[in-house]
Amino acid sequence: MTCPSCSKSLQKLETRGIEVDACSGGCGGIWFDQRELDAFDSAQEAADAGALIGLRIQAPPPAPSTEPRPCPKCVKYKMQKRFSCIKRAVEIDSCPGCGGIWLDPGELIRIQALWKTDADRARGVEEFFTNDIMPQFQAERERLQRENVVAKIERAIGFVRISKFFK
């Protein structure tokens, strides 16, 4: 796979039994297949991701681009910007085709700082949906489920499985 940012070859890097693809010879960006980031995205998991954060950056980071970059895996799809979680603090690149995530250098550390543990995040998401989102959909719950809108929204949001709120 080719780095979507600096075009160097991505290298396999194993941490905690999970293989990610990292631009270890270039800009230091990291590619996570769908849901792989879940294992490294809280403060508690930061130590486990040490090898990822310690990636040596051997090329100057490319200037931030507003142009959508290609998914390193699907290639034909362009990645889209979205927030990493409900806190809307860190914008990441995500592929609408495969659900993978590209993190530029520094983004992993910022994401890990947002939640202490996965349980904290899960609680935060639960509260957010219960209090802020679901009341707006209450009346339409059945129609949305029937017309398969829930699955579409879920793919677009990426970081939360909203289908469980529609059960």
Contact with Zn ion (CB under 5 A) among 53, 57, 98, 149: 98
Stretch that binds Zn ion, among 33-41, 48-56, 93-101, 133-141 (CB under 5 A): 93-101
Between 37 and 95, CB nearer to Zn ion: 95
Place of tokens 């070859």: 9
Query: Cβ 83 to Zn ion, closest distance in Å?
Result: 18
Between 21 and 41, CB nearer to Zn ion: 21
- The count of other CB atoms within 10 Å of the CB of residue 130 is 11
* Whole-number Å distance between alpha carbons of 40 and 43: 8
Binders in 43-82 for Zn ion, by CB under 5 A: 71, 73-74
Contact with Zn ion (CB under 5 A) among 95, 108, 111, 125: 95
How far, rounded to the nearest angstrom, does the alpha carbon of residue 149 sit from its chain's CA centroid?
Answer: 21
Between 44 and 80, CB nearer to Zn ion: 80
* Whole-number Å distance between alpha carbons of 39 and 147: 32
Q: Does residue 97 bind Zn ion (CB under 5 A)?
A: yes
- C-beta of residue 28 within 8 angstroms of C-beta of residue 56: yes
Q: Which helix H or strand E contains 135, and what residues bound it?
A: helix 134-137
Query: Cβ 52 to Zn ion, closest distance in Å?
Result: 14
Stretch that binds Zn ion, among 91-99, 116-124, 137-145, 156-164 (CB under 5 A): 91-99
By DSSP bridging, strand 11-15 and strand 91-94 are unpaired
* Whole-number Å distance between alpha carbons of 106 and 122: 23
**Residues in contact with Zn ion by the rule CB under 5 A:** 3, 5-6, 23, 26-27, 29, 71, 73-74, 95, 97-98
